[in-house]
Amino acid sequence: MKIVEVNDNKTWNQFFQLPFRVFKNDPRWVPPLLSEQKHLFDKHKNPFFKHCLYKAWLVLENDQPVGRVVAFIDTLYNSINNTNAGFIGFFDCINEQEAADRLFDISRQWLKQNGMNTVFGPMNFSIGNECGVQLTGFEFPPLIQMNYTPSYYQSLFENAGFSKEHDLYAYRMTAEEVRRRDDFLHRLEQLGNKALEKQGVTLRTINFRNYEKELDNIHLLYNECMQDNWGFVPATFEEILYSSKSLKQIADKELVFFAEVKGEVIGCSVSIPDVNQAMRHVKNGKLFPTGFIKLLYYLKKINGFRLVFIGVKKDHRFKGLDALFYYHTMRKGIERGYDSAELSWISEDNKNLIKIVEKIGAVRYKTYRMYKKEL
């Protein structure tokens, strides 16, 4: 076995192709679009690299790639948290501890050389991207922008001395469960509507004709509402705009809600159709020559969505808006033919939100673990 740095066309191609080898016999894995992966690592196009340094490596066995990893330092994260922490991400590896250890060791060495004293992971550059080692729910495929890892990854990390730092939850809700709880949801709607009237709140869906302004509202709410979550780094508007470009193409405007008081946005709820249902049919991660046709065909058959974010300004919290966003999202989802939804991710510390989603009948079905190791 040997470690090689990813620094030329050959090694970058091997880096992007490695997951196709690790997951080739796993029917639940969803291949990423190779063009989007390459775009993500483009230092000239991805604004995240204005405050991030990284290096990538492959581990080879008999000159064949069997694992990959990226180590990175987010200077914005460290300045906000007054710490010297590094991260690892884009970790994929065959079920061989020695191969994983080689990747962990080279990452640790580089981070330590750059003044870091702790490493967290796995995280694909941002807590808003794929992160965590999946611990449960392996019988279900991943939804859009959620991680999917083999069950043996937990052992690879823990055998290498990593320990739990934080858990993230994914909840599942079905149309059948929504209908079964119809009386409860109707009461919830009545209580919520009374709260809306009392506070003078109105609900509306996103206006794509004023997209950048709507995105700015989401940006401000995201930074205010997520700041207490583990791993949070305030996003710049440039980063939000960058990450939303591909999502805008698949967004369902009826599943993005804004709450307003006298024209001021005080809350929002963002859900996205699960494009992974279509992507799993693009087997090689390439849109051309036939992948694009398959993608267009299966996009019409998507029947699930992911509720990505609910945010309410501080002065308007605990007044029923969270529950009302859930209610309208589920109702509208059923109207539009969706039969299931994932609510993810939710921090294990967010007891209030967990209480709400469990009351409306959502079931926790996946847990993702962020690991930590002192250098």
Q: Which CATH number is 186's domain given? A: 3.40.630.30
Q: Kindly state whether residues 184 and 265 are assigned to the same domain.
A: yes
Q: Kindly state whether residues 329 and 259 are assigned to the same domain.
A: yes
Nearest to 124 by CA among 37, 188, 209: 37
Mean pLDDT, to the nearest integer, of 34-62? 95
- Is residue 372 a part of any domain in this protein? no
Q: Kindly state whether residues 13 and 147 are assigned to the same domain.
A: yes
Q: Kindly state whether residues 93 and 69 are assigned to the same domain.
A: yes
| Three-state secondary-structure class, residue 208 | helix
- Is residue 62 a part of any domain in this protein? yes
Question: Among 285-299, 338-352, 360-374, which is the least confidently predicted range?
Answer: 285-299
Mean pLDDT, to the nearest integer, of 237-257? 90
- Is residue 374 a part of any domain in this protein? no
Q: Kindly state whether residues 204 and 333 are assigned to the same domain.
A: yes
Cα angle for residues 147, 148, 153 (degrees, 5° grid): 110
Residue 289: is the preceding peptide bond cis (ω within 30°)? yes
Provide the 8-state DSSP code for 48.
Answer: G
Higher pLDDT, 372 or 282: 372
Give the torsion through C-alpha atoms of 81, 85, 91, 97, to 10 deg: -140
Encode pLDDT of 129-142 as tens digits. Answer: 999 999 999 999 99
Q: Kindly state whether residues 118 and 71 are assigned to the same domain.
A: yes
- Is residue 339 a part of any domain in this protein? yes
- Is residue 112 a part of any domain in this protein? yes
Q: Kindly state whether residues 214 and 323 are assigned to the same domain.
A: yes
- Alpha-carbon gap, residue 157 to 163, rounded angstroms: 8
Q: Kindly state whether residues 123 and 261 are assigned to the same domain.
A: no
Q: Kindly state whether residues 155 and 184 are assigned to the same domain.
A: no
Q: Kindly state whether residues 141 and 57 are assigned to the same domain.
A: yes
Q: Which distant-in-sequence residues (6+ apart) come within 8 Å of 61 by Cβ?
A: 1, 96, 99
- Written as one letter, the residue type at 248 is K
Q: Kindly state whether residues 155 and 215 are assigned to the same domain.
A: no
Q: Which helix (H) or strand (E) is 265 found in, with range?
A: strand 264-273
pTM of the model: 0.94
Nearest to 128 by CA among 182, 172, 168, 69: 168
Helices (H), the chain: 9-22, 34-40, 75-81, 97-113, 153-159, 175-180, 182-199, 211-225, 237-248, 276-279, 291-299, 321-335, 351-359
- Alpha-carbon gap, residue 52 to 43, rounded angstroms: 10
Number of domains comprising the chain: 2
Answer whether 282's CB lies under 8 Å from 34's CB.
no
Q: Is 90 exceeded by the pLDDT of residue 190?
A: no
Predicted pLDDT of residue 258: 96
Q: Which helix (H) or strand (E) is 171 found in, with range?
A: strand 163-174
Range of the structural domain that residue 197 is part of: 172-367
| Boundary-marking domain end, from 124, 140, 170 | 170
Q: Is 90 exceeded by the pLDDT of residue 264?
A: yes
Q: Is 90 exceeded by the pLDDT of residue 192?
A: no
Q: Is 90 exceeded by the pLDDT of residue 214?
A: yes
Answer whether 326's CB lies under 8 Å from 257's CB.
no
Q: Which distant-in-sequence residues (6+ apart) come within 8 Å of 164 by Cβ?
A: 369, 370, 371, 372
- Written as one letter, the residue type at 84 is N
Band the pLDDT of 180: cuts 50, 70, 90: confident
